Amino acid sequence: MSIRLALTAVCLVSVIPCAAQRLSMPPAPLRMHSIAVEGGWSWPESHDGLTKYWGPGPGASVEFLTGVSRWVALGFSIDGSAYWFRGPQFATDYPNLPFRNPPVAQIVAGVIGRVTLAPGKRLTPYAGAFLGISHMTGAEYRQVTDSTSSTYFYLPFQTRLAVGLYAGLEYRISRGLAIDAEARALYVNNDPNVGASAVVRGGLRFFF
């Protein structure tokens, strides 16, 4: 009986750490290249040209990263966000005008750099920066009455330099798949209508 108990104890001592290790340790080696597909929500934050009549809306992004080390990855991304028109606000300001509902879109593309703060862990925080361009699709509401032109809103089509910072968490499900969740702040340079915006998003990252 004592021999059987001793053997059982040895088995448990050897099996439990192995099981715990499998739960806590991610698969290795790490794969250095990835593509992320994410969706989320965007908020215009600063300039009245956009925020007066347009509010938060959905967005999506595609991102490619290639690792230059276990800690650092470089790549590029393209993001799109749609800002919904604030119809009630416009109707309050101009109650006698015919209602229009023009959503506008912001397309952002550029290069990114990302630092993984705990490489090799199943759950790891990360942070990064973005440099690229931002394009707004624009919108205009203008009426001409008795040779007099009145403009009620005007958001021009234009492309400007954009910079951003972001931070998030990555949970590695397997060697080839992870879940990302992040927050991003974006600033469009020299644009009196757009300025800063904020994005919260999440999605899947595929490693290869």
Mean pLDDT over residues 142-147, rounded? 79
Is residue 97 a contact partner of residue 152, using CB atoms and an 8 Å limit? yes
DSSP structure class, residue 189 = T
54 half-sphere exposure, CB direction, 13 A CA radius: 31
Q: Which two tokens stand for residue 61?
A: 């992004």
pLDDT for 79-114, tens place per residue? Answer: 999 999 998 999 899 998 887 778 899 999 999 999
DSSP string, 66-80: EESSSSEEEEEEEEE
Nearest to 158 by CA among 140, 141, 185: 140
**Three-state secondary-structure class, residue 83:** strand
pTM for the structure as a whole: 0.79
pLDDT at residue 15, as a whole number: 46
Structural domains in the chain, CATH included, are 30-207 (2.40.160.20)
